[in-house]
Amino acid sequence: MALIKKVAVYARYSSDNQREESIEAQIRAINDYCDKNNYKVVKIYTDEAKSATTDDRPQFQTMIKDSSNGLFDIVVVHKLDRFSRDRYDSAFYKRELKKNKVRLISVLENLDDSPESIILESVLEGMAEYYSANLSREVMKGMKETAYQCKHTGGIAPLGYDVATDKTYIINEYEAETVRIIFDMAYRQKSYSEIIKVLEESNRKSKLGRPFSKTSLNSILRNEKYCGVYVFNKTGQKIRGKRSVYNKNENEVIRIENGMPAIVSKDIFIAINKKMDTCSQSDRLAKKATEMYLLSGKIKCGLCESSMKGNKRYCGRNKNKYVTYDCSNRRNKQGCTAKSISTKLVEDLVIDYLEEDFFSYVNIDSLADNILEYNKTLKHGVPQTITAHKAKLKQIQGQIDNIVNAIASGMFHISMKDKMDDLEKQKAMYEAKIADLELKLANYKSIDKENIVAFFESRKGLRKKSPDEVKTIIQTFINKISVYEGYIEIHSIVPTMHGGEENRTPVRKPI
Ligand SMILES: [Zn+2]
């Protein structure tokens, strides 16, 4: 099964940067790497530039050209920045390689945007879930340590806060005033409409500069951060666009009292939320009526490329319910003319595709082989990253020791305390990172073909799963669904094997 992969090596050196590895050193590292992975080096390309600013890379261009001749399957570089200097450049040439079915591998970095990587990540998640609750607890311990520093974990900061350069939250005074108005009015039992009216009159807007809605007020009043509780929730983060209180697994929620600068008092927060809980009977009924749009974010209009949005309406004499995806460009004056499509119809087609094609025996087998191969490169890359982190940790410890020694010999300056705090924080961060990577490495080592196949098998049977589970599976394995007149196209994150040979992507289904 395993064919020996043919490799082209690319190395680059610019003489005005003394800190770079020489071309010889780069090639040596790449050769080692290829030996370990049983790759055969068939060609070496090198560019030596006089200055990093001139983009004169004749050999690089030759390599890109050669990639269309089937000379090699993989290009290996020592570090990604050898391949390109900026993201645009990188994306462009990576796409060129991809067109010619050539993969790019970096010896030192993991290329985490590849489909294999995405699948592997979800395999690992699935394994932790199904085979090792213990490991999963350990992973959480690692994440917790990072979270315990109460830092912003990505996305947009909540209204009322900015993110400082060290990623901690700081209060944005103007926005905080808006938050206080909302809580104050809610405490005095004003309705959402009344609050919205006051906010509009004083021209106060949401974080994204939009007017407030009942939903946005609700999520602000429910957000514990405002009374100083830092909340970090693995599960909650994964559910895109929706902060769902019902999807949280309590074990995975990290709550740190006083982990955030508070904007409102705890008493007020608790009083309001108690009141909201008792009123949530109607809430729950409303929730029942909300639709679960399984394809949101993935479904696009084939005519104009705009995303399609879920929409529910009641029509006709009997007020029949119609749930559809509509082109979001359709409501504009000169908008798109694409028709709506029934959510049920298009979701069924996608589920059929996953069941019959994506999770077919042949396809799972070929996916498993690809992932195993990718996993091999990780097993090699991760130890290097761990070594680099350990070196950094040693350096930080050295700096801490220096300060301790200075203090012991009677030198004390007030700035030393801040410096010390900062170093201790960094130390904790690197320790957490190393723990996390070591765990990942153990995970990578424990993966075999059986695990991966079992993972995919457990994803089958979508029609018996909960809508939440189905949505997660669709969002993981489907890149895009394009809706055209008469048919849809389904793009999965990797091409589907069909009949053992043929690669078909996208897959077309008539409607
Ligand atoms: Zn459209």
Q: What pLDDT, on a 0 to 100 scale, did the predictor assign at position 3?
A: 67
- Asked whether residue 220 is domain-assigned, the answer is yes
**CATH code assigned at 16:** 3.40.50.1390
Residue 100 within any structural domain of the chain = yes
Over the stretch 310-365, which tens digit does the pLDDT of each residue have? 988 888 788 888 899 999 888 666 688 889 999 999 999 999 999 988 888 888 88
The answer as to whether 184 is a domain residue is yes
- Does residue 399 fall inside a structural domain? no
For residue range 240-266, what is the model confidence (pLDDT) as tens digits?
A: 333 333 334 455 566 778 888 999 999
Domain end residue (candidates: 90, 109, 128): 109
Beta bridge partners of 491: 480
Residues 86 and 179 in one domain: no
For residues 67 and 162, membership in a common domain is answered with no
Percent of the chain scored above 90 by pLDDT? 26
pLDDT of the residue at 237:
36
**49 pLDDT more than 60:** yes
Phi, psi of 331 (to 5 degrees): -80, -15
Residue after which a domain boundary falls, among 41, 75, 109:
109
Burial label for 42, CB within 10 Å (0-12, 13-18, 19+), is: middle
58 and 170 both lie in a single domain:
no
Residue 348 Cα to ligand 1 midpoint, Å, equals 21
Same domain for 202 and 105, yes or no, is no
| Cβ-Cβ contacts under 8 Å for 204 (sequence gap 6 or more) | 178, 181, 212
**What is the structure's pLDDT at 494?**
73
281-290, 309-318, 379-388: which has the minimum mean pLDDT?
281-290
Q: Are residues 166 and 283 in the same domain?
A: yes
Q: How far is the CA of 359 from the centre of ligand 1 (A)?
A: 31
Distance in Å from the first CA to the final CA of the chain: 38
Of 289, 319, 352, which residue is a domain's last? 289
* CA 297 / ligand 1 centre spacing (Å): 14
Cα 327 to averaged position of ligand 1 atoms, centre (Å): 5
Would you tell me how many other CB atoms lie within 10 Å of the CB of residue 170? 13
Q: How close is the Cα of 354 to the center of ligand 1, in Å?
A: 25
Gap from CA of 332 to ligand 1 centroid (Å): 10
Higher pLDDT: 188 or 435? It is 188
CA of 227 to the centre of ligand 1 (A): 43
**Cα of 325 from ligand 1 centre, angstroms:** 11
> What helix, strand, coil percent values describe the chain, rounded to 5?
50, 15, 30
Give the chain's mean pLDDT: 79
pLDDT tens, 89-142?
A: 565 677 778 778 888 888 876 655 566 666 666 665 555 444 334 443 444 454
Specify the 3-state DSSP secondary structure of 322: strand
Contact of 128 with 135, CB cutoff 8 Å: yes
pLDDT at 157 over 60: yes
What is the predicted pLDDT for the residue at 111? Answer: 55
Distance 281 CA to ligand 1 centre (A): 38
The domain that contains 161 carries what CATH number?
3.90.1750.20
Whether residue 105 is found in the same domain as residue 161: no
Range of the domain at 85: 6-109
Give residue 490's pLDDT. Answer: 92
Q: In terms of domains, do 104 and 161 share one?
A: no
**Distance between CA 501 and CA 161 in Å, rounded?**
54
Q: State the distance from the centre of ligand 1 to the C-alpha of 259, rounded, in angstroms.
A: 45
Assess if residue 55 is contained within a domain.
Answer: yes
The CA 489 to ligand 1 mean position distance, Å, reads 15
Tokens in use for 25?
């050193």
Query: Are 190 and 285 in a shared domain?
Result: yes
Query: Are 64 and 97 contacting, i.e. CB atoms less than 8 angstroms apart?
Result: yes
Which strand (E) or helix (H) includes residue 328?
A: none
The answer to whether position 222 is within a domain reads yes
What secondary structure does DSSP assign to 165-217, as a single string? Answer: TTSBEEE-HHHHHHHHHHHHHHHTT--HHHHHHHHHHTT---TTSPPP-HHHH
Residue 485 Cα to ligand 1 midpoint, Å, equals 11
Q: What is the 412 CA–ligand 1 centroid distance (Å)?
A: 67
pTM of the shown model: 0.45
Comparing 52-56, 228-232, 336-340, 420-424, which segment has the lowest mean pLDDT?
A: 52-56
- Which pair of tokens denotes residue 431? 């320790």
Structural domain count of the chain: 2
DSSP strands (E only) in 38-90? 40-49, 74-77
